[in-house]
Structure 1
């Protein structure tokens, strides 16, 4: 299952918003090798805190991102890689501000504070 922690900030036109705030029809920004696209959300679903989700914890220089095992991550080299395939010290995450951050660690664990998943059509 692909998800992000419910409080993960998602790039939208005009700024950032927690993923759990996105509703069907809202616009989110999607990064591709050829640029940034505005895409309409076509599904949005989440779980409440207290549940148990198997997650990947991706530690960077400044934060820890909590995602599902198969969550595709957009890397600084403009490729996509599933969270469980990331290589610390080699892969760099692409950030909404156009900069990148080195991945310092990747590990699996259980997350209890709620997850959320949204999607759009390519």
Structure 2
């Protein structure tokens, strides 16, 4: 029997909620969602169909993150996104941390990696990867 599982949300604890909210809304371009708690500790964003990103205030400090620990997203406006990163002084790199380099994967998908204000790694692709057949 196969259980149908989907991703509901991803939660990241952040050191400065307003700074991170501004980054995900204005730099990454995620649309904000109304969050139900209304206690000033959360910002919610739409992250594709049926999935959300929840930012939660309260992190005192975060450890450095490895680039392999990342959240990957896709946009059909990849070149415009790269320009937006550059215009806002957000450095990007390939998976080997060659800064300013756009990587082209073997399947033709272009990607860059960059970090949010707390050091979480994010990946942006130019399109959704082709689904892999289940085993």
**Is the structural similarity TM-score above 0.5?**
no
User: Which of the two has greater helix per residue?
Assistant: 2
Larger Rg: 2
TM-score (norm 1): 0.29
TM-score (norm 2): 0.27
User: Which of the two has greater strand per residue?
Assistant: 1
Structure with larger RCO (C-alpha < 8 A, sep 6+): 1
